[in-house]
A and B are shown apart, each in its own frame.
Chain A
Amino acid sequence: MKMRTVEITVGALMVAGILSLLMLALQVSGLSHFFREEPGYRIKAEFANIGALKVRAKVSVAGVVVGRVVKIQLEPETFNATVWMAIDPMQVDKLPIDTRASILTAGLLGDNYISLLPGFNETEFLREGNNISIGNTDSAVILEQLISKFLAGQVSASKNTNNSQRDQ
């Protein structure tokens, strides 16, 4: 075996090792998302509560994935959450301006995702940087809150029946 070949293959091994470390750092442990931009135009939506929505969650229209969540941040004045979505123009490029956005859950224990329900405006469409205001969005349904509300309802209901029984 010539020394040259040996040195080249060892160099390739080292490069492969460094590339693997980079992949583990960037892609697997998610140290940064800066290197890859999601394709498509950006729109944003304001939600009162996003539940467990994560960056890179899917955005769907009628169940078809048309984009991804790219950024989530808190509005400092209103304390609402602003979710930036990248929508693929190949899938849908004319979303009416009165489109409704809701955060749904895939299955009972699944991930949260955003479902867009197109509105009826046929002249104005969502463009790069447009906002879906908080009046047009539905927050995530948080199971724990539902359960606690349900339990509270039960308790008050049983109190009422108790009271009515006592009255009689």
Chain B
Amino acid sequence: MILIKRMQLLGRSGLSFMGDIGRASLFLYQALVGKPDWVHGFGRLVQQLYSVGVLSLIIIVLSALFIGMVLGLQGYTILVKFGAEHALGQLIALSLVRELGPVVGALLFAGRAGSALTAEIGLMKTTEQLSSMEMMGIDPLRRIIAPRFWAGQISMPVLALIFNCVAILGGYTVGVEWLGVDTGAFWANMQSAVDFYADVMNGIIKSVVFGTVITWIAVFQGIDCPPTSEGIGRATTRTVVYSSLAILGLDFFLTAVMFGET
């Protein structure tokens, strides 16, 4: 008897999980597919790019600087034991461009912008702004969700690129200016090791995927949250947890596909 109950529980959670995915996909489809409104849509997109992208810039730049500096310091102390400190540039650039830039950038982005998106949309739902929009004959999905989704998807790769650059400059500061690695060796090794298409472009593709997933989870959690203050809090937490897990899991698959066969 208890076995059947367990089976039932498993079936129920499986069904609700599949239902969530179905609703999320349908919701994204409704929000994005259709005739775009170029004139007003662009203004709304710029507004969202500001709140999603520009306001995330400070945390991205600061973390990138420190991560780059730590990479420089740690890499130097390890490489100098083998007399290979000239390979520092290569170490920093490859680890940043391939992994750390997109992944850490996305984690920060999920914490900074994803949670804000969920809370904002959740509060709109709780205070019935979304229903009143529907009353006025405005589609809230197209009006509220679409610009936020595109803004997240555009800003994520841009922020990841800025993250990479700032972190490499941070590593350069520590490695070359403070610890005395030769400048030419630093850049020459980096340039001979990093390939633009295989490394930089794949990093950008990763960050586009992460941006899509984060904003998708964030806006869906916002629109799907129970309309209470507790519900908003839970939805915000879920956004951060789900998107962090999704980033790390997807990163493994993307890495396996992109860099696996060599």
Residues of A within 8 A of B (CB): 1, 3, 6-7, 9-10, 12-14, 16-17, 19-21, 23-25, 27-31, 54-58, 65, 68, 106-111
Contacts and interface: CB of A to CB of B under 8 A. Distances in A.
Q: Is the interface of B mostly helix, strand, loop or mixed?
A: helix
B218 to A, nearest CB: 19
Contacts, number: 101
B162 A20 contact: yes
Contacts of A25: 196, 200
B194 A10 contact: no
B195 interface: yes
29 contacts: A6-B46, A6-B47, A7-B46, A9-B50, A10-B46, A12-B54, A13-B155, A13-B158, A16-B158, A17-B161, A17-B162, A28-B93, A28-B164, A28-B191, A29-B199, A29-B200, A30-B190, A30-B191, A30-B194, A31-B196, A57-B184, A57-B185, A58-B182, A58-B185, A65-B182, A108-B83, A110-B86, A111-B185, A111-B188
Contact of B83 (A3, A14, A27, A110): A110
A10 B158 contact: no
Contacts of B84: 109-110
Given A6-B50, A7-B46, A58-B182, 6 more contacts: A16-B158, A23-B165, A28-B200, A29-B199, A31-B196, A110-B86
A29 B196 contact: yes
B175 interface: no
Contacts of A16: 57, 158, 162
Given A29-B194, A111-B86, A20 B54 contact: no
B165 A29 contact: no
Interface residues of B, number: 38
A30 B192 contact: yes
Interface of B: 43, 46-47, 49-50, 53-54, 57, 82-84, 86, 93, 97, 155, 157-159, 161-162, 164-165, 168, 182, 184-185, 187-192, 194-196, 199-200, 204
A29 B168 CA distance: 12
A9 B57 CA distance: 11
A54 B188 CA distance: 7
A11 B121 CA distance: 25
Residue among A17, A24, A54, A56 having the largest count of chain B Cβ atoms under 10 Å: A24
Contact of B49 (A10, A29, A108): A10
A64 to B, nearest CB: 12
Residue among A3, A10, A31 having the largest count of chain B Cβ atoms under 10 Å: A10
B58 to A, nearest CB: 12
